[in-house]
Amino acid sequence: MTLMMREEYIESLRAMTKRVFIMGQEVENVVDHPLVRPSLNACAMTYALAQMPGDGDLARATSNLTGQQVNRFTHLHQDPSDLVTKVKMQRRLGQMTGCCFQRCVGMDALNALDSVTCEMDEASGTEYHARFRRYLQYVQERDLVADGAMTDPKGDRRLSPSQQADPDLYVRIVDRRPDGIVVRGAKLHQTGALNAHEIIVMPTRALSEQDQDYAVAFAVPADAPGIVMIYGRQPSDTRKLEGSQIDVGNRQFGGHEAVIILDDVFVPWERVFMAGESAFSGLLVERFAGYHRQSYGGCKVGVGDVLIGAAQALACYQGTDRASHIRDKIVEMIHLNETLYACGIACSAEGTPASSGTYLIDLLLANVCKLNVTRFPYEIARLAQDIAGGLMVTMPSEKDLAHPEVGPYLAKYLRSVDRYTTEDRCRMLRLVENLTLGPGAAAYLTESMHGAGSPQAQRIMLARLADLEEKVRLAQKLAGIKEQAPDA
Ligand code: SF4
Ligand code: FE
């Protein structure tokens, strides 16, 4: 099997024995839990898309390892067109779900590990790359969801991992055995962890030789002994427990993040892809972050399409769609959203091959993409709220809308343009609320800020990657000034 059906994916998760805690309770049946199910529905769309005619082409690729058709989320990018198609697929899935569909972190981890393990072997004579490719073939043939786990708790940010008062604040090797390693630590903000088959752990920062035990990358089944997941809350999440159809805003889909505890987890050598090569830790972080910064030029744009559509629909429902300032605001939202997409496409089209043959994005442009993502969705959300109006946050519940006594009052007094129903208006207002204030805002806004690195991380990369000296030379030449190196 190289392409799993949506239903098979859901059943495959049922067969796993993950340890999961949600709001203080250990949960046996994670798959059907009402707080988790919307995120599972979203991740399952990565399987459903691959089965669709037309757009399904975006989610299918031919494996360079086996020649078989695989889901693009397990594929190594073979040329710039693979990178471009990845972004288009992410935009399409963002449009279909209106949320984070979670599977990109695994795709980005797999692609980053492919080139870095190859370069480690070239430099150090290790044998990680062949091992990693055997693992990747295992993932491709089973069409698995992998969680790409990078962010450590980090403790006191002034101190390196080994200087921390508690040495477990970064994931580390606590034992090396003939058959494998034992690891301990935690990963925070783990997108889609509960919906994953595999957890791929990577270091979170560049490391020095003193921190060798923290230079560790590996893959484990998500239900391996010693792994505990603790579900993260989101704004208004308990509306999902009310059986709500309207108040949740997005009826079917949502994302999730979790804390993953690694409590002395054993990893056989066959699944270890870095164990002590501290010099390559920073490169792995840079590659993974680069791919994920590209990813946001697709997924956030797709969610932006939904939000722009919701704002336009509300303008029509409320009779403001012909006002020039509303039209202008919609155009502004489109401009911002398409700028993000342009960056996602540009860093893909300018991709170049690594020595493993897998294509890398243009790192400078991917960082520009992500730095824009830290800002533009906030402005798009602000404009959507401006167009939606205050009713979005003062509107009574759907139970009031359905109430025999007060429901008719609301149907009468919340009606706007006559040809649209009050319920349609309320549903659309709740969708904007979801995306800009509710659980959807966790992904569309806060994750846009901090996911794949906070804005300062991108600024550091821009300062490093832009060839300022060359720009000075260009200016000197045109100004007729003899070429001289600028002060450092
Ligand atoms: Fe994919 Fe976007 Fe979610 Fe990251 S935030 S996993 S890129 S959908
Ligand atoms: Fe993310």
Atom 3 (ligand 1) nearest CA: 100
Cα→Cα distances 170→51, 193, 218, Å: 40, 18, 14
Cβ–Cβ contacts within 10 Å for residue 57, how many? Answer: 15
- Please tell me the distance between residue 324's alpha carbon and the centre of ligand 2 in angstroms: 36
State pLDDT tens for residues 393-449: 999 999 999 999 999 999 999 999 999 999 999 999 999 999 999 999 999 999 999
Question: Three-state SS for 179?
Answer: coil
Tokens 């969705």 locate to 377
Report how far apart, in Å, the C-alpha atoms of 4 and of each of 8, 16, 47, 260 are.
Answer: 6, 16, 7, 26
Distance between Cα 258 and ligand 2 center (Å): 12
Taking all residues of the chain, what is their mean pLDDT, rounded to a whole number?
97
Active site residue 299: yes
Q: Is 98 left (phi over 0), alpha (psi -120 to 50) or beta?
A: left
End-to-end Cα, the chain, rounded Å: 57
**pTM of the complete model:** 0.97
Whether 122 contacts 302, CB under 8 Å: no
CA pair distance 370, 372, nearest whole angstrom: 5
Q: Is the CB of 46 under 6 A from ligand 1?
A: no
**Do residues 205 and 225 lie in contact, with contact meaning Cβ atoms separated by under 8 Å?**
no
Distance CA 33, CA 241 (A): 9
CB atoms within 10 A of CB 381: 23
CA distance 137 to 205: 27
- pLDDT of res. 483: 74
Alpha-carbon gap, residue 487 to 110, rounded angstroms: 41
DSSP helix/strand/coil, 19: strand
pLDDT band at 482 (very low <50, low <70, confident <90, very high): confident
Known catalytic membership, residue 47: no
Check residue 488 and give its pLDDT: 56
CA distance 207 to 279: 7
* Among candidate residues 172, 453, 137, the one with its CA nearest the CA of residue 290: 453
In the predicted structure, residue 57 carries a pLDDT above the cut 80: yes
Cβ proximity of 220 and 265 under 8 Å: yes
Cα–Cα distance measured from residue 353 to residue 208, given in angstroms and rounded to the nearest whole number: 27
> Given this model, what pLDDT does residue 2 score?
84
Does the pLDDT at position 46 exceed 70? yes
Q: How confident is the model at residue 1 (pLDDT cuts 50, 70, 90)?
A: low
DSSP assignments along 356-413, one per residue: TSPEEP-HHHHHHHHHHHTTHHHHHHHHHHHHH-THHHHPPPHHHHT-TTTHHHHHHH
What is the sign of the dihedral through the CA atoms of 90, 96, 101 and 103?
A: negative
Report the b/e string of 435-473 with b at 16+ CB within 10 A: bbbbbbbbbbbebbeebbbeeebbeebeeeeeeeeeeeb
Mutate to test the pocket of ligand 1, among 73, 97, 191 (most ligand atoms within 8 A of CB): 191
Q: Give Cα 107 to chain centroid, integer Å.
A: 10
Is pLDDT above 80 for 487? no
Which is catalytic among the residues 46, 74, 97, 191?
Answer: 191
19: β partners: 228
Q: Identify whether 422 is a catalytic site residue.
A: no
DSSP state of 74: G
Q: With a 6 A CB cut-off, is 73 part of the ligand 1 pocket?
A: no
Token pair in block for residue 297: 């030029």
Task: Write out the two tokens for 384.
Answer: 């959507």
Q: How far is the CA of 191 from the centre of ligand 2 (A)?
A: 7
d(C-alpha 106, C-alpha 465), whole Å:
26
Whether ligand 1 lies within 6 angstroms of the CB of 451 is answered as yes
485 has a pLDDT exceeding 70: no
Tens of pLDDT along 144-182?
A: 999 999 999 999 999 999 999 999 999 999 999 999 999
What confidence tier does 338 reach under pLDDT thresholds 50, 70, 90?
A: very high
Residue 69 CB partners (closer than 8 Å, separation 6+): 2, 3, 60, 61, 62, 63
Q: How far is CA 198 from the centre of its chain?
A: 16
As given in the structure block, the two tokens for residue 171 are 């994931």
Sole residue written with tokens 């056989």: 268
> Which residues touch 9 (CB under 8 Å, ≥6 apart)?
43, 44, 47, 143, 145
| Residue 100 is among the residues annotated as catalytic for this protein | yes
